[in-house]
Amino acid sequence: MITQKMKYALKALLALADEAARPSPQPLTIEEIAKRSGAPKRFLEHILLEIRNAGAIASIRGRSGGYSLIKAPRDISISEMLRLIDGPIAPLPCLSRRSYQRCEDCTDEASCRIRKVFAEVFWSYLLIIESLTLEDMLRSSEVAASVLLEAPAGE
């Protein structure tokens, strides 16, 4: 499950991506990002700083400053953002590639039935999540909107 902080991060990135797609994109202030994304302003400052430090967005100081994407949406990995904001994404510490830790109560990982079951689920999840980018999220928003607009009344 992703945290509320991660949802705010994704909403902020989507707002920045929408602005970047406009004919004359402008940097967005935290206030504007909060307004467009529905994320509380008080949480956004820290979140945007983390994303900026990861190199996905830039901050511009001054009167006409704000935040803007510096990577193309297709180059912003959802799994990397998940790890950045929420930390390891594995359901068990013994399945994490980047933050591996042996489970304290485990005597033998090779025969651990819990590990085996969750490993299968996790690897399937990883195949999907590792392939997702911000561009995929932008596209899915467009597809969802067109489906809603084309749906017959009463459905």
d(CA 49, CA 42): 12
Enter the tokens of residue 73: 């949406």
**Three-state secondary-structure class, residue 28:** strand
* Cβ-proximal residues to 105 (8 Å cutoff; 6+ apart), any chain: none
Give the total residue count for the chain: 155
pLDDT at 145: 44
Question: pTM of the prediction?
Answer: 0.82
pLDDT at 109: 86
pLDDT at 153: 52
* Cβ-proximal residues to 65 (8 Å cutoff; 6+ apart), any chain: 27, 29, 59
* Cβ-proximal residues to 32 (8 Å cutoff; 6+ apart), any chain: 15, 66
- All residue ranges of the chain with pLDDT < 70 are 141-155
Mean pLDDT taken over the chain: 88
pLDDT at 21: 93
The proportion of the chain whose per-residue pLDDT surpasses 90, expressed as a percent, equals: 63
